[in-house]
């Protein structure tokens, strides 16, 4: 199995060439020249059969005069990550939010960012919101030569943001010669609902107790404005799950509320991947309904195979069940989608420890320390793993 943390390059031996006649030499030289001319004269295409493209959506810059609109630019970034990740999952993978948010307002160039994230393409842009209208600019950059494949500007009312996402997705698929899957029809979202929902996600992503509590209130406001808006119910479920994990209030009450909110989201929209994932998380951690949790995670990944957090939770599930190969497969997938999140690498270190891959546990733990030197318990994971890898010295008699 490929080790994602510390890739090892295979050594290749050059084969010796067989001597041939002079006519064969000139024929071969002519073929090389023809291929060279075709390569130069024909327009370049990004389609490489059998190869999955890696893309990162950098945080959209907030060009509004109001700094409090950061939640809006972050929300657009997250929505574009989710939208682009669903376009052609077999050919396109999109880096998760937690790994790209460190590049907010960055001065680093495309080459440096591309190398750190191991991606082929970058989408970068900005958003300016004025009252109920919005201007979105975006461009697609090929990392290898920093070529701008396209650049566009959209001036729309807030209710047309879904159309902007769809148009941006179409431009990406055309540039990369991808197969555009039929998008799900999404109704316009009222601005007050979108604001409350994106504020909820903005606070949920911070994952500290105070932010989670604020996120809970924003999701409730979104639901009060539109009780049929399923993503807000899924966000409410995610937040109750997180509050249960961090020990805020009664964990059992939070898990029950999470299950109720996730079920309500699925009643409204049975195709909402994040609702299935949230339900799976509750069934795994609270109900210990292993079969139900596995079905929920499987459904979530079928609907949205590019969502890193679902792979993260699936890795936890398989690790807890002692299913080594499936756990390691999910570990590799989540790391490829979220390589710069110390929370992810920390958990992956422990998952690998639990399934007996102590070498990988050490690597992920040390990677966590590189990303966040203050990360707790990783020294313990390394020590325990090294203890399993290395026999203890015998005491001389």
Each residue's pLDDT tens digit, 29-38: 444 444 333 3
DSSP string of 169-196, one letter each residue: HHHHHHHTT-----PPP-PPPPHHHHHH
53-175 has which CATH code?
A: 3.40.50.10610
Half-sphere CA count of 182, side-chain side, radius 13 A: 1
In this structure, what token pair is assigned to residue 340?
């710069």
Residue at token pair 């606070």? 203
Predicted pLDDT of residue 130 = 87
Residue at token pair 């291929």? 35
Each residue's pLDDT tens digit, 2-18: 334 333 333 333 334 33
**Does 191-389 match 53-175 at the fold level?**
no
% pLDDT > 90, the chain: 60
Question: How would residue 386 be classed by pLDDT, with cut points 50, 70 and 90?
Answer: confident
Mean pLDDT of 104-128: 94
Q: Is 190 exposed, middle or buried (0-12, 13-18, 19+ CB in 10 A)?
A: middle
Q: What is the dihedral of CA 286, 289, 293, 294, to 10 degrees?
A: 150
At the topology level, CATH places domain 191-389 in 1.25.40
% pLDDT > 70, the chain: 83
Q: Is the pLDDT of residue 311 over 90?
A: yes
- pTM of the shown model: 0.81
Quickly count: other Cβ atoms within 10 Å of residue 133's Cβ.
Answer: 12
Residue at token pair 């060009």? 63
Q: Do residues 275 and 240 lie in contact, with contact meaning Cβ atoms separated by under 8 Å?
A: no
Q: Is the pLDDT of residue 300 over 70?
A: yes
Residues paired with 116 in a beta bridge? none
Q: Is 1 exposed, middle or buried (0-12, 13-18, 19+ CB in 10 A)?
A: exposed
Consecutive H or E run containing 48: none
Question: How would residue 333 be classed by pLDDT, with cut points 50, 70 and 90?
Answer: very high
In this structure, what token pair is assigned to residue 350?
């422990």
Mean pLDDT of 19-30: 44
Among 196, 167, 178, CA closest to 83 = 167
User: What are the boundaries of each domain within the chain?
Assistant: 53-175, 191-389
Each residue's pLDDT tens digit, 171-201: 998 888 887 666 666 678 899 999 999 999 9
* DSSP 3-state of 228: coil
Residues paired with 128 in a beta bridge? 135
Predicted pLDDT of residue 22 = 43
Between 4-8, 83-87, 238-242, 248-252, the lowest mean confidence (pLDDT) is in 4-8
Quickly count: other Cβ atoms within 10 Å of residue 232's Cβ.
Answer: 29
Q: Is the pLDDT of residue 28 over 60?
A: no
Mean pLDDT of 66-78: 92
Mean pLDDT of 98-116: 93
């Amino acid at each position: 199995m490929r080790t994602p943390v510390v890739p090892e390059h295979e050594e290749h031996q050059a084969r010796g060439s067989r001597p041939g006649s002079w006519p064969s030499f000139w024929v071969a030289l002519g073929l090389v020249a023809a291929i060279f001319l075709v390569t130069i004269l024909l327009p370049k295409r990004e389609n490489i059969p059998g190869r999955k493209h890696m893309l990162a959506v950098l945080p959209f810059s907030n060009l509004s005069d109001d700094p409090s609109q950061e939640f809006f630019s972050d929300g657009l970034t997250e929505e574009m990550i989710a939208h682009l990740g669903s376009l052609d999952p077999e050919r396109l993978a999109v880096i998760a939010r937690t790994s790209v948010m460190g590049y907010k307002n960055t001065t680093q160039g495309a080459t440096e960012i591309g190398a750190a994230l191991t991606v082929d393409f970058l989408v970068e842009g900005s958003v300016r919101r004025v009252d109920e209208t919005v201007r979105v600019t975006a461009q697609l950059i090929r990392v290898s030569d920093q070529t701008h494949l396209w650049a566009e500007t959209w001036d729309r009312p807030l209710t047309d943001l879904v159309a902007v996402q769809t148009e941006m997705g179409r431009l990406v698929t055309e540039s990369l010669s991808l197969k555009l899957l039929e998008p799900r029809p999404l109704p316009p979202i009222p601005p007050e609902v979108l604001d409350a929902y994106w504020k909820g996600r903005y606070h949920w992503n911070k994952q500290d107790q105070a932010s989670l509590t604020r996120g809970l209130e924003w999701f409730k406001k979104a639901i009060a404005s539109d009780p049929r808006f399923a993503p807000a119910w899924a966000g409410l479920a995610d937040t109750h799950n997180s509050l249960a994990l961090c020990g805020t209030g009664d964990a059992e009450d939070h898990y029950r509320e999470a299950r109720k909110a996730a079920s309500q989201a699925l009643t409204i929209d049975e195709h909402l991947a994040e609702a299935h994932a949230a339900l799976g998380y509750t069934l795994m951690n609270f109900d210990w309904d292993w079969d139900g949790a596995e079905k929920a995670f499987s459904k979530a990944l079928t609907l949205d195979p590019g969502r890193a957090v679902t792979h993260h939770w699936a890795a936890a599930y398989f690790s807890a069940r002692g299913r080594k190969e499936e756990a390691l497969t999910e570990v590799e997938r989540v790391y490829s989608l979220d390589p710069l999140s110390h929370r992810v690498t920390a958990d992956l270190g422990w998952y690998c420890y639990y399934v007996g891959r102590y070498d990988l546990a050490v690597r992920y733990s040390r990677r966590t320390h590189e990303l966040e030197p203050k990360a707790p318990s990783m020294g313990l994971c390394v020590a325990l793993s090294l203890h399993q890898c290395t026999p203890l010295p015998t005491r001389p008699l």
